[in-house]
Amino acid sequence: MSENVGIVIVSHSADVARGTALMVEQMVGREVPLGWCGGDPDGGLGTSVEAIMKAIDQAWSERGVAILVDLGGAETNSEMAIEMLPESRRGRVVVCNAPVVEGAVMAATEAASGATLEAVRRTAEELTPV
């Protein structure tokens, strides 16, 4: 079990999600539990609550999981996925309001230093234009 906060990348496109995950891995290696998903349940552009729940499971850390999303539906579906988690996990997963690629890389870098979930989220969200 990892001692670092996990990162999940959710994009409408599987290619974007996978590419972002590769960038994160290159930055922080395997020190941070990582999950990603992209595409709707039929494999088209979109997001799937089921796939997001699986990605959260993959990136699970007792210290929590930070999700980075691209466009609207990814955020709504991620929030829905969090609500459908077992109660013991629900409070330890957050969606970051940050650009998906830059946010994921920054969040993972912060997570790799052993930071708390709140600190990881804050670091990602510092990138958000006001």
Q: What residues make contact with another protein under the rule CB under 8 A?
A: 40-42, 44-50, 71-73, 76-77, 79-80, 84
Sheet of 34-38, strand order: 34-38, 6-11, 65-69, 93-96
Query: 9 vs 37, which CB is nearer to another protein?
Result: 37
Report the residue number, 30 or 42, with the smaller CB distance to another protein.
Answer: 42
Smallest distance from another protein to CB 105, Å? 25
**Residue 113 beta carbon to another protein: minimum distance, rounded to whole angstroms:** 32
Q: Least distance from C-beta 37 to another protein, angstroms?
A: 11
Q: Which of 98, 124, 102 is nearest to 111 (CA)?
A: 124
3-state secondary structure of 65: strand
Packing angle between helix 117-125 and helix 100-112, nearest 10 degrees?
A: 140
Q: Which is nearer to another protein, 73 or 99 (CB)?
A: 73
